[in-house]
Amino acid sequence: MGNEKPIIYQLSEWFMRLSITNIAWFISNLPIAYLLLNFVYAETKESRYILAIGILLLAPFLFFPATSALFAMVRDWILKKEQCSLIKTYFTYFRKNYCFSLLGGLLLTGIWAILVIDFIYVRQINVLLLFCILGLGVVIYIFTINFFIVLVHYDEKLTVLMKKAFVLTLVSPKLFFIHLFASSGILYISIGGWLVLLPFFTAALIAFISYSAFYRIYLNVLDMKNSPI
């Protein structure tokens, strides 16, 4: 009891962790954020197409390494690993996981690009097919979150990590819906009215809830394997 930190200290510590790490993530993605803002306010289709291509080209090089570093930071907090400096540790993970993040990002960005093109083409032709594409988009979204989780949790080859993320997406409905509802809820609140959350908390909160849910299930599976029959 004597070593337990006061609740206010713990809250302020978590506030600092989430905000500083999210700011580092946001700064790493500033070029993408700039293009995305211009995309929202673009007045012509041609401008939007050009901006969309720019976002897709930058995503593997910026968004994926930045987000993998964010998940690595969250993993350290949940596993109670010491971090001498939040900013320094964040960019250490940015560099450490850059290669796998880039390669995985190239693959996933390609998949997302195909999905978006299909959505644009199909939405005016076939409503049923449109809903199928939207459903597939949800699955790929959850797969993308799981990719970040397994990337920072396991030390494996990229092909193995992709397989683990795929299996995790399909075999754990509980984790699937936690990812879906938690992240969509946070994004809805952030984009729908609390835009100030985007640079300070949104991504870090999504990463924290997603990895926490995964790690709890991971520990339960380990307990089941180790428990006597």
pLDDT at 67: 98
Extract the tokens encoding 3: 């070593």
More confident site: 1 or 154: 154
Give the chain's mean pLDDT.
Answer: 91
* Alpha carbon distance 165, 168 (integer Å): 5
Distance (Å) of CA 40 to CA 32, 37, 133, 198, 213: 12, 5, 22, 16, 33
Q: What torsion do the CA atoms of 27, 151, 108, 192 make, to the nearest 10 degrees?
A: -50
pTM: 0.92
What is the distance between the terminal CA atoms of the chain, rounded to a whole angstrom?
Answer: 36
pLDDT (tens digit per residue) in 57-112: 999 999 999 999 999 999 999 998 888 899 999 999 999 999 999 999 999 999 99
Return the residue matching tokens 């540790």. 89
